[in-house]
Structure 1
Amino acid sequence: MLDGRTLGALWGLPFAGLLLSIALCPLLTPRLWHAHYGKVAAAWSLAFLLPFALGQGAGSAGHLVLHTLLSEYLPFIILLVALFATAGGIYVRGNLHGSPELNVALMAVGALLASVMGTTGASMLMIRPLIRANDHRRRCAHVFVFFIFIVSNAGGSLTPLGDPPLFLGFLQGVDFFWTLRHIFPETLFLIGALLAVFWLLDRWYCQREGGPRQDPTPDDAASFGIEGGINLLLLAAVVGLVLMSGLWKPGVNFLLAGIEVPLPSLLRDLGLLAVTWLSLRLTPSAVRESNQFGWGPMQEVAKLFAGIFLTMIPVLAMLKAGEQGAFAAVTRAVTGADGQPLPWAYFWFSGLLSSFLDNAPTYLVFFNLAGGDAQQLMGPLATTLAAVSAGSVFMGANSYIGNAPNFMVKAVVEERGIAMPSFFGYMAWSGAVLLPLFLLMTLIFFR
């Protein structure tokens, strides 16, 4: 592993450059970006890897890349592919009209599903019916912004199945139902407030639009129902495989290209690939055509997150170094004068970093900063663990790259011809809606 104590803050520049590219290039050079975003991500990855290889040797750089790919990126992307394929094979038949009340109901159902099948599974399952329900609206981008807030992030806070940070906590010894018992009030507050704000805003938009537009998917379609139901069983298999990899500890490891891979992780990933193959084979092509299913969104996520995973290596290493790293100020900021952790600081720092870094390793960094003892954190330091868990999950909604489903939802919606806010435009929404709610949550729950 990379020793963050030996790195200066300049090693974070490739990561910052990639973030700025994701934010600015779609605005400044949209055609160039959409044609070459994979090359841009690769260029920023090389901006980190080439100097690192020159300083530390090609062998060390190669080992670091292999470790990141085999231990972190491939498991991440294989799970996303399995969820994308299975959820994309479920077609909710029938036309729903996107009134404010119906939109609220669809988002509430998605939020409930998110803690059972994960934010990615719930997002990919619910986003297509929501798009069809609102395809008669003149302005509906706000619907999908709130969908990202509620379904792609906040809804996944109640179980380790909901969001990767909580699953990492589960692997560290946090009880399966601990988050349900300790973060339920915070989750209920946030989702309830977001649904209320959305209903008021959506009602206002509907009134401004005046008369309804002609619906491109009228009611003479087939009656309401679900097609591709075999994928519901495959989604259950995905959940089972993820749980298996966390609960089963045989102590057997394999060496792949010099990288140690535990047997449960290997079986999980092979099982997820098998689930993806079964979904593609067993789902009638007409179902995916009805869903307008395509691999474009998944390709965009895969390419950009490959660059994100590689360029954030030194950033996470410096954070993990704590007081001895370039970001020692973060460690000092979350600790009080008495040496005890400050829950409000853990909530904000874990959250703000999760807005731009992968929220799973960010959670792990702050979990260890708070002592790393699951029994202590579930007991005397329960408020601190709740703050880290809530910050890592909730604030993933602050930017498109805070959580993988955010980007996937954006890509799916844009593929349907609906203009979504730019990177900074989305952050204007999150800043106006989410940050005031997070401030209220700090005063109520994490003082």
Structure 2
Amino acid sequence: MVAARRCVRSCLGLAGAGVLLLAGASGALGADGAPALDGAQLSPLWALPFVGMLLSIALFPLLAGHFWHHHYGKVALFWGLAFAIPFALTYGPSATTHEVVHTALLEYIPFIILLFALFTVSGGILVTGNLHGSPVTNTALLAIGTVLASVIGTTGASMVLIRPLLRANDERRYNVHTVVFFIFLVSNIGGSLTPLGDPPLFLGFLKGVNFFWTTTHLFHDTVVMAGLLLTAFFLLDSYYYRKEEGMKLRRDPTPDTEGLGLRGAQNLPLLGGVIGAILLSALWKPGISFNIYGTHVELQWMVRDVLLVVIALVSLAITPKLVRERNGFDWEPIREVAKLFAAIFLTIIPVIAILKAGERGVFSPLVELVTGPDGQPVNVWYFWLTGALSAFLDNAPTYLVFFNLAGGDPHQLMGPLAVTLEAISAGAVFMGAMTYIGNAPNFMVLSIAKHRGVKMPSFFGYMAWSVGFLVPGFILLTFLYFL
């Protein structure tokens, strides 16, 4: 019960922190039906808080890690208010609140609730025992994690499997590459087949993309990338494994005192419940909606979010405390995501409005770059630009930017522009693996590995790995699907 109460407080804190940041400077609620924001009239200066927020995420952990660790919430609040206060003074509190409420109810809150549910449930699943990291074993673990990532999310799969992988290889001298390829496959590329897999795809789902659209349209892209990377990993791991045969073996710090097994298996049906709640919101259309300050919220969306919170609470109630302790489970990662993404979703409001204005907006050069002379999208540029920004900023808001740049109509993007949406989705998910900061699980895995004594490469050292092993695959995808 103590854990359940703690979860309730955490849940309220997550939602509260985000909603307060999203709405804090918006003023009192005004009349219903506030006019839509016309991006053609917005100056590029309105994008500065968004750029500042993303650069803060990229640079502060590297240049001022101690400060960032203790004050990232204040930094997020600063950039959120840097947008909200001037916007309210310029366009009035009523119009500002309309935009904030719309973003919070339709994008931010569902996004955080899904991450919260997956994080909580997967944190109650513990793989016990000590595997021994041979090339076959390691490749099998990566392959399993790649598949799981689309079922329980890249965050969930990363948290469930990174510790077993580290234990399996903790007596080996050469083990850095196992964590690097884990980030490539489990923390990123494996999450490409469902909206549960990676945050940008869930945002697409919230925008109206069908649940199984990514399963059918990104399957071949994912098979190509995963096949290339698993083959490269097996060959590389075999090389290092043979290299270690002539060396004096290190003492295995993980004794074989406990057989291979699974603790917290009662959470597995709850993962099915998460999937069921998402599918319910996609398939059940009661035709009932609520107008909240000009934003129409469908009943099935509200039911989905309530079910996800209940599932997380049930997981906390039925999972032994020892299981979570052995998993190193705590609330800090999800708290950080909640605060940072509150600022991201807030500051991206004018950016999306400008992009929706197309050639009438100040970002028209970008529109021209991704649009051919015949008015059709240039899918190569959508793939590489979405990917490049996803690598250095964050793949979820980057996906939103290019989704809207391509018109923002899910029916068009799933139909005549299907290859464009495929390019945006693949770029956001796959190239989030290019740096430690491209996707939230990357940094979490890095932190856990360093804590367990793995001498992980620096920011640019990791990029040397990603350029060497990922970019050739991306070039191949370009020629196969996007030219």
The residue aligned with 2:189 is 154
Task: Tell me, yes or no, if the aligned pair for 1:358 and 1:403 is still in contact at 8 Å.
Answer: yes
Shift of 1:358: 5.7
Percentage of identical aligned residues:
61
Task: Tell me, yes or no, if the aligned pair for 1:23 and 1:424 is still in contact at 8 Å.
Answer: no
The alignment status of 1:393 with 2:429, answered yes or no, reads yes
Shift of 1:43: 1.7
- Give the 3 Å change call, closer, same or farther, for CA 83–439 of structure 1 in structure 2: same
Q: Distance in 2 between matches of 1:351 and 1:136?
A: 36
The residue aligned with 1:268 is 304
Q: Distance in 2 between matches of 1:174 and 1:26?
A: 34
The correspondence for 2:279, drawn from 231, 234, 243, is 243
1:205-284 alignment, distance < 5 Å: 210-220=247-257, 222-256=258-292, 259-284=295-320
- Give the 3 Å change call, closer, same or farther, for CA 345–126 of structure 1 in structure 2: same
The correspondence for 1:143, drawn from 178, 182, 195, is 178
The residue aligned with 1:94 is 129
Give the stretch that moved more between structures: 193-202 or 408-417: 408-417
Task: Tell me, yes or no, if the aligned pair for 1:27 and 1:422 is still in contact at 8 Å.
Answer: no
Shift of 1:196: 2.6
Q: Distance in 2 between matches of 1:375 and 1:59?
A: 31
Task: Tell me, yes or no, if the aligned pair for 2:355 and 2:363 is still in contact at 8 Å.
Answer: yes
The alignment status of 1:316 with 2:345, answered yes or no, reads no
In the alignment, structure 1 segments of 5+ residues that lack a partner are none
Amino acid at match of 2:362: A
Amino acid at match of 1:216: P
The alignment status of 1:84 with 2:119, answered yes or no, reads yes
Q: Distance in 2 between matches of 1:379 and 1:5?
A: 27
- Give the 3 Å change call, closer, same or farther, for CA 208–301 of structure 1 in structure 2: farther
The alignment status of 1:127 with 2:162, answered yes or no, reads yes
Deviation string, structure 1 residues 249-275 (Cα, Å, up to 9, x no partner) = 222223456644221111111111111
1:361-380 alignment, distance < 5 Å: 362-363=398-399, 366-367=402-403, 370=406
- Give the 3 Å change call, closer, same or farther, for CA 299–203 of structure 1 in structure 2: farther
The correspondence for 1:338, drawn from 374, 380, 400, is 374
Q: Distance in 1 between matches of 2:72 and 2:458?
A: 15
Task: Tell me, yes or no, if the aligned pair for 1:48 and 1:311 is still in contact at 8 Å.
Answer: yes
- Give the 3 Å change call, closer, same or farther, for CA 317–362 of structure 1 in structure 2: farther
Amino acid at match of 1:261: V
- Give the 3 Å change call, closer, same or farther, for CA 382–73 of structure 1 in structure 2: closer
Give the stretch that moved more between structures: 96-105 or 206-215: 206-215
Counterpart secondary structure, 2:253: coil
Q: Distance in 2 between matches of 1:39 and 1:172?
A: 29
Q: Distance in 2 between matches of 1:426 and 1:325?
A: 37
Amino acid at match of 1:101: V
Shift of 1:2: 3.7
The correspondence for 1:329, drawn from 355, 365, 375, is 365
Shift of 1:369: 5.1
Counterpart secondary structure, 1:92: strand
Task: Tell me, yes or no, if the aligned pair for 1:398 and 1:434 is still in contact at 8 Å.
Answer: yes
Shift of 1:317: 2.5
Amino acid at match of 1:75: P
Task: Tell me, yes or no, if the aligned pair for 1:351 and 1:394 is still in contact at 8 Å.
Answer: yes
Q: Distance in 2 between matches of 1:411 and 1:302?
A: 19
TM-score normalised by structure 2 residue count: 0.82
Deviation string, structure 1 residues 303-326 (Cα, Å, up to 9, x no partner) = 222222222322232222221222
Task: Tell me, yes or no, if the aligned pair for 2:102 and 2:295 is still in contact at 8 Å.
Answer: yes
Shift of 1:190: 0.7
- Give the 3 Å change call, closer, same or farther, for CA 342–85 of structure 1 in structure 2: same
Q: RMSD value over aligned CA atoms?
A: 3.0
Counterpart secondary structure, 2:262: strand
The residue aligned with 1:117 is 152
The correspondence for 2:53, drawn from 4, 15, 18, is 18
- Give the 3 Å change call, closer, same or farther, for CA 26–169 of structure 1 in structure 2: closer
Q: Distance in 2 between matches of 1:80 and 1:170?
A: 14
Shift of 1:387: 2.3
Number of aligned positions between the proteins: 446
Give the stretch that moved more between structures: 253-262 or 269-278: 253-262
Give the stretch that moved more between structures: 170-179 or 64-73: 170-179
- Give the 3 Å change call, closer, same or farther, for CA 296–369 of structure 1 in structure 2: closer
In the alignment, structure 2 segments of 5+ residues that lack a partner are 1-35
Shift of 1:327: 1.6
Shift of 1:377: 5.2
Task: Tell me, yes or no, if the aligned pair for 1:117 and 1:161 is still in contact at 8 Å.
Answer: yes
- Give the 3 Å change call, closer, same or farther, for CA 22–154 of structure 1 in structure 2: same
Q: Distance in 2 between matches of 1:274 and 1:430?
A: 39
Give the stretch that moved more between structures: 24-33 or 201-210: 201-210
Q: Distance in 2 between matches of 1:364 and 1:46?
A: 21
Give the stretch that moved more between structures: 399-408 or 333-342: 399-408
- Give the 3 Å change call, closer, same or farther, for CA 27–335 of structure 1 in structure 2: closer
Q: Distance in 2 between matches of 1:377 and 1:200?
A: 39
Q: Distance in 2 between matches of 1:419 and 1:3?
A: 50
Q: Distance in 1 between matches of 2:318 and 2:197?
A: 26
Shift of 1:282: 0.3
Shift of 1:129: 1.9
The correspondence for 2:420, drawn from 377, 381, 384, is 384
